[in-house]
Amino acid sequence: MAPRHQAPRGTRDLLPEESARWRWVEAQAHGVLDRYGYGEIRTPMFEDYELFARTSGESSDVVQKEMYRFKDLGDRDLALRPEFTAGVMRAFLEGGLGGRSRVHRLWSMGPVFRYGRPGKGRYRQFAQINCELVGSPAPGADVEMITLFVDLYEAWGFKDLTVKLNSVGQPASRRAYGERLRELLSPFGERLSEDSRRRLEQNPLRVLDSKSEADLAVLAELGARLPHMLDFLDEADREHWNAVLAGLDAAGVMHEVDHGLVRGLDYYTRTAFEVHDASLASQSALGGGGRYDGLIEALGGAPTPGVGFAIGLDRTLLVLQERGLAAAAGDTVCVVAMDATRAGVTALVRELRRRFRVEADVEARAFNAQMKSAGKSGARFLVIAGEEEWARGEVALKDSKTGEQKAVRRESLAAELEARVSRQESTT
């Protein structure tokens, strides 16, 4: 019989095998974030629509086409979060964090929602890790953020990552740059995509990160005549930019300038960065971030600088899987009982589960059926509670890794397993 329901378009289920990989990725991230001294902040999955409209910009794709906006039964205008930063900053202000200390290091992890066209690495519900360093305007804060960004990927097994970087300056210099772009691009009006013709009016910088072939052809034709945002930086921004580059060099973080990396919204300032992977479409970033010194003020707070990033976990896992990088599951112990030992084995299994992953029969199946399941399960350790050994206070322990099988006293079984697992951990 065909199932009556399917997961909504653009969403998917993570079945146990896949969610195990996710949990590994999340656990690695928790370790890195903890070692960097970041604290977790959890905010609601929906907020007032206005919050996102104000922070993402009315002209952005997210607001115009991708928001899951809805009215609740009390007629409130709400939206599922399309990103974390707006909600985190709202919570920062509402929770009065700014008054408690100057610099805050925050992270969040969870689902975000965008009504885009689904495809490889593009979903309508996807997960992000989001980090923010709030309160410091110093280039060292940008350097810490980018280093943390890269160290998360390294903890997942990515090597030799190069971060793409640009500076988007200040709203005034960006406007001057936008004017120049408009002048240069307007003569191509007819050849630009519809979206870009609109962007040319509202926010010309966004033409630079267009994905349309027509737009890319125009940009290629302009080639060297196209000025760079870096040419428009004022002195203070240039100094900040140079200090960030020097800091990344000192930290050993590989980076390259990407003049096409622009963020048009008014609260973005100075540093912008992204990481891509060749296995995804060239426009599909694995993650990205930047400085947003104007955001908290735009939300009604005192002027407070900040820098942050978001990493897409779905895409990260796709790449990890394609490269075979995600970690193997840990060791499992499979316990096989006989009729006469079944009752006693229940307590043994419970005790072992305080430390190990243990599989055991719940259906009082025959010994042979249990052995067959154990063979299929891929468990590393097999513990057989045979009648005679059990009567002597022992069980048989088989380690499929070494092929060794021996009798072990029941009271020393946990210690014996522990020793084998930690011996393996220290050699890998």
The nearest distance, CB 280 to ligand AMP, in angstroms, is 9
- Total residues contacting ligand AMP by CB under 6 A comes to 16
Closest CA to 229 of 187, 197, 262: 262
Interatomic CA distance for residues 194 and 183, integer angstroms: 18
Q: Give the nearest distance from C-beta 116 to ligand AMP in angstroms.
A: 5
Write the interaction track for ligand AMP spanning residues 106-145; mark x where CB under 6 A is met and - where it is not.
--------x-x----xxx--x-x-----------------
| Residue number with CB closer to ligand AMP (87 or 121) | 121
State the Cα–Cα distance between residues 80 and 44, nearest whole angstrom: 9
Least Å from the CB of residue 313 to ligand AMP = 8
Asked whether 355 and 418 are in contact (CB, 8 A), the reply is yes
**Spatial contact of 267 and 97, defined as CB atoms under 8 Å apart:** no
What is the contact mask toward ligand AMP in residues 34 to 73, using x (rule: CB under 6 A)?
----------------------------------------
Q: Which of residues 399-418 bind ligand AMP (CB under 6 A)?
A: none
Token digits of residue 406: 């021996």
Q: Which of 61, 83, 266, 389 binds ligand AMP (CB under 6 A)?
A: 83
Q: Which of 396, 421, 310 is nearest to 29 (CA)?
A: 310
CB of 173 to ligand AMP, least distance (A): 22
As measured in angstroms, the least distance from the Cβ of 85 to ligand AMP is 8
Torsion of CA 84, 325, 116, 179, to 10 degrees: 70
Instruction: Considering the complex, state which of residue 126 and residue 177 has its C-beta at the smaller distance from ligand AMP.
Output: 126
Minimum Å gap between C-beta 108 and ligand AMP is 13
Nearer to ligand AMP, 139 or 287 (CB): 287
Contact 340, 386 (CB under 8 A): no
From first CA to last CA, the distance across the chain in angstroms is 47
Applying CB under 6 A, among 285, 317, 318, 417 the residue interacting with ligand AMP is: 285
Are the CB atoms for 2 and 129 separated by under 8 Å?
Answer: no
CA–CA dist 373, 390 (Å, integer): 21
Indicate whether 277 belongs to the interface with ligand AMP (CB under 6 A): no
Task: Out of 288, 305, 306, 386, point to the residue binding ligand AMP (CB under 6 A).
Answer: 288
Cβ proximity to ligand AMP: between 116 and 301 the closer is 116
- CB of 359 vs ligand AMP, minimal distance in Å: 34
Contacts of 84 (CB under 8 A, 6+ apart): 43, 108, 110, 112, 128, 130, 310
- E strands, 39-124, in order: 39-40, 46-48, 69-71, 77-80, 104-113
Site for ligand AMP, residues 307 to 336, rule: CB under 6 A: 310, 312, 314-315
CB-nearest residue to ligand AMP: 312
d(CA 132, CA 397): 49
- Cβ of residue 288: shortest distance to ligand AMP, in angstroms? 5
- Which among 47-55, 72-80, 295-303, 306-314 is the span making contact with ligand AMP, rule CB under 6 A? 306-314
Binding window for ligand AMP (CB under 6 A); candidates: 179-187, 250-258, 286-294, 416-424? 286-294
Are the C-beta atoms of 243 and 169 separated by less than 8 Å?
no
Integer Cα distance of 167 and 401 in angstroms:
53
Which residue reads 């039964």 in tokens? Answer: 73
How many residues comprise the chain? 428
Least Å from the CB of residue 119 to ligand AMP: 9
User: Rounded to the nearest whole angstrom, what is the least distance from the CB of residue 138 to ligand AMP in the complex?
Assistant: 23
Distance CA 252, CA 138 (A): 19
CA distance linking residue 147 with residue 196, whole number of Å? 34
Which CB sits closer to ligand AMP, 286 or 320? 286
Binding site for ligand AMP (CB under 6 A): 83, 114, 116, 121-123, 126, 128, 285-288, 310, 312, 314-315
